[in-house]
Amino acid sequence: MLKSQFTARDWGSNPKYLSPSYKSTILRSPTKPLIPLKQTLSEITGPVFGHHSIKPLDNDLTQNGITDGREPLGERIIVSGKVIDEKGRPQRSTLIEIWQCNSAGRYIHSNDQHNAPLDPNFFGGGRCMTDENGYYKFYTIKPAAYPWGNHPNAWRPAHIHFSLFGPAYATRLITQSYFPGDPLLELDPIFMATPKSSRNLLIKQFSIGASEEGFALGYNFDFILRGPNATPMEN
């Protein structure tokens, strides 16, 4: 039986572990070189999540956190796109999980001490599976910028956190997606830790076509995961 290995992580596209302007990397980044591992069955297999594990409102953050019958405050948006590999092949039935702060820049997480208000009707977590063509869609509230302690007057640009699996342990990805035209991007050490040539891959594109008339503006955001290597491996 022949199985495919996956292409290497793209070191020209990904941030380096040590990016000193993002201070938390200083004590948390590995200092020794990674040891190359020739992929085995352990790396080319991966967990499987069934469509049955997703509930109807899991991809609708404008509805799944309502506690007092009213909708969350803020601007409704639609974030949709597709998950493909480096050759453009759709990644079907793969799990996407998201989490974000509310329209005031506050996370529901108990460790978030920013004194912006919580919204009793916004939770900020959701998930969905890609369809048979690799497409996904979320309804949410546009997140806001918020301050953080990295350096004086430091602000995170508005972003949504995304977690994806893809077909294998090797294709795991956690990232953040930003909004076009945000002046905070070039001041953000997390965004700026990404090589310049791939930063645009972290920014959503406004799409009037993805908008729903009278309801919400749409943004497009595609994910490109590691794909199978051209050379299959012999088992």
Partner 1 sequence: MSLKQTPSQTIGPFFSYGLTPEQSNYPNLSSLSTNSLLTGSTIGEEIRLEGRIFDGAGDIVSDAMIEIWQTDAEGRYPDQQSSGKTNSNFSGFGRCDTGVDSQNKYIFETIKPGQIDTETAPHINVTIFMRGLLLHVFTRIYFSDEGRSNSADAVLSTVPFDRQKTLIAKKVAGVTPVTYVFDVFLQGENETVFFDI
Identify residues 174-203 at the interface with partner 1 (CB under 8 A): 174-176, 190-191, 193-195, 197-199, 201-202
Report d(CA 51, CA 12) in Å as an integer: 34
Active site residue 9: no
Instruction: Single out the catalytic residue among 161, 169, 172, 199.
Output: 161
Report d(CA 29, CA 15) in Å as an integer: 12
Active site residue 159: yes
- Between residue 63 and residue 122, which ones bind partner 1 under the rule CB under 8 A? 64-65, 84, 86-88, 95, 97-99, 101, 107-109, 111-112
Q: Is 51 an interacting residue with respect to partner 1 (CB under 8 A)?
A: no
* Closer Cβ to partner 1, 70 or 212, answer by number: 70
**Partners of 95 in the β-ladder:** 129
What own/partner pairs with CB < 8 Å and gap ≥ 24 does 201-207 have? 201/13, 202/175, 202/176, 202/177, 202/178, 203/177, 203/178, 203/179, 204/79, 204/177, 204/178, 204/179, 204/180, 205/180, 206/180
Active site residue 107: yes
As measured in angstroms, the least distance from the Cβ of 208 to partner 1 is: 24
Task: Kindly indicate which of the ranges 23-31, 71-79, 131-139, 179-187 contains the residues binding partner 1, using the contact rule CB under 8 A.
Answer: 23-31
Instruction: Single out the catalytic residue among 106, 127, 159, 226.
Output: 159
Residues whose CB falls within 8 Å of the CB of residue 122, separated by 6 or more in sequence, listed in order = 61, 65, 72, 73, 74, 102, 103, 108, 141
Task: Kindly indicate which of the ranges 35-43, 71-79, 132-140, 206-214 contains the residues binding partner 1, using the contact rule CB under 8 A.
Answer: 35-43
Reported as type and span, the H/E element at residue 43 is helix 41-44
Q: Is 161 an interacting residue with respect to partner 1 (CB under 8 A)?
A: yes
Report d(CA 22, CA 30) in Å as an integer: 15
Active site residue 226: no
**From 25, 207, 211, 229, residue interacting with partner 1 (rule: CB under 8 A):** 25
Total site size for partner 1, rule CB under 8 A: 91
Q: Is 43 an interacting residue with respect to partner 1 (CB under 8 A)?
A: yes
Report d(CA 119, CA 216) in Å as an integer: 19
As measured in angstroms, the least distance from the Cβ of 213 to partner 1 is: 30
Task: Kindly indicate which of the ranges 38-46, 69-77, 131-139, 205-213 contains the residues binding partner 1, using the contact rule CB under 8 A.
Answer: 38-46
Active site residue 92: no
Task: Kindly indicate which of the ranges 41-49, 69-77, 134-142, 203-211 contains the residues binding partner 1, using the contact rule CB under 8 A.
Answer: 41-49
With contact defined as beta carbons under 8 Å apart, do 168 and 45 qualify? yes
Report d(CA 52, CA 206) in Å as an integer: 31
Where in the sequence numbering do the catalytic residues fall? Answer: 107, 146, 156, 159, 161
